[in-house]
Structures are given as C-alpha cells and as structure tokens.
Amino acid sequence: MGVGLVFLVPLQIPAAQRAAQMGGRLFREMLGEIGEGFRFVRGAVDIRTLFLLLLASSLVIMGPWQTLLPRVAEEQLGAQAFRAGLLFGAMGVGTVISSLILASIPRLENAGGWFTTTLIIGGSLAVGIGLSHNYLLTVLFMFLSGLNAGFFINLNLTLIQAHTPSDVMGRVMAIYTLVLMGGSPFGGLLAGGGAQLLGAGEWFAICGAAVAAVAGVFLVTQPSLRRMPSHPETPVAAPADAGSG
C-alpha cells in the first residue's frame, strides 16, 4: 500500500495545480469583465449620471423608506400594523397604475428630464410624509409616491438599457442590481442613526429634501441628460474593447 501511495502522489499534484491555475484564470477573467462594466459606466456620461441618481435614491430614499416609515406611521399617525400596511398598499396601487401608463407609451422624448423630475417630486413627497400627522393625508402622499416611483424605476431602467450596447448589457445590469439592492441597507443604517438623533419623521423629511436638491442640481446642469429619449433613434454603438455581455 505504501508503494501505491508513492505512485499516486505525483499523479494528484499536477491535477491540483491545473485546478488552481484554472480557478485563478477564471477569477482574473471575472474581474476583467466586472472592470469593463464599470469602465463603460464611468465613460458614458449620461449612464454614469443615471447610476449616480439611482445610488442617491437607494441611499437617501429607499433605505429610509424601509427603515423609518413603519416608525413614522406608529409615532406620528398612531397606526398599528394593519393601518401601516394600508399605507404601503396605497403606494403599491400607485406604482401599478404608473407602470401600466408608461408601458403604453412607445417612445418618450426628454425621458431623462422626466426621470430626474420624478426624483425631485419623490423627495418632495417624502418631506410631506415625514412631516404629516394626518393619516388620510399620508395615504394620499403614499399613493402619489407610488405613482411617482413607478415612473422613476421604469424610466431609470429603460434609459440604462436603451442606451447601453448589448455587448456590455449583462455587466451593466449587474452593476444596476448592485447599486439598487446594495445601497438600500446602508441607507437604512444611516437612517436609523439619523432618526436616533432627530426623530424618524424629521430625518425622513431631511432625506427627501436632500435627494430633491441633488436631483434639481443634475436637472439644471446636465442638458444631455434632460434630452435623453426613452429609446434612441439609432442603435447604441458597442465599446471598442467590449466582449460578450
């Protein structure tokens, strides 16, 4: 048996080395693909702006929305679980309606400007929700926020996809998911700290005002973003160094 082990050892070492080399090569290729996606986002000015606004929304609106809204409903409106759930239900109805409306529009001129405007409106509605002490008024604000959110999310996604070449689409959409889903937990963490200092409603309102101000700056200073159509008339050219999506 000892002699057999002597012969097996040299047979196993090359296989392990090949597996390690293959794993290292795949890891380097994966990093290269990810880096190419980030390079495209960084180099395409309007796409980069869309991602920055999405990140701002994820950190400053979506995170506080998930973390603070139940607290706001309980402290300022006296709403328990069911009535707080109705607030989210009103928002859901609004989101469905606006998504169906947008789906019926084949092409929207100046979609980038409309998208940025939805962020200003959403921030302003968040201020109203944070300061409201009337349940029915908050239900109305939530419904309007849902209408606005449907336009915001769908326009953002449509603009990014329509203005991204198919060669890098997979990598860019992976970054989109990372920004959208990865930013919210950190935004919720910041919102929890802010609410501990100032109160849930007050911090919620501050977050809304902040994101509305940021969006307003981009709306004024980015004319090419304002003019972005929902679907370009000519196909978007692929980057020279792009591989498969």
Q: How far apart are CA 50 and CA 175, in angstroms?
A: 12
pLDDT tens, position by position, 118-165: 999 999 999 999 999 999 999 999 999 999 999 999 999 999 998 888
Q: How far apart are CA 100 and CA 50, in angstroms?
A: 22
pLDDT tens, position by position, 200-238: 999 999 999 999 999 999 999 999 998 988 877 666 665
Report the alpha-carbon angle 92-181-231, nearest 5. Answer: 75
Tokens of 236: 């978007």
Q: How far apart are CA 223 and CA 42, in angstroms?
A: 18
pLDDT tens, position by position, 20-60: 666 666 666 666 677 777 888 888 888 999 999 999 999 98
Confidence bin at 17 (pLDDT 50/70/90): low
Residue type, 177: T
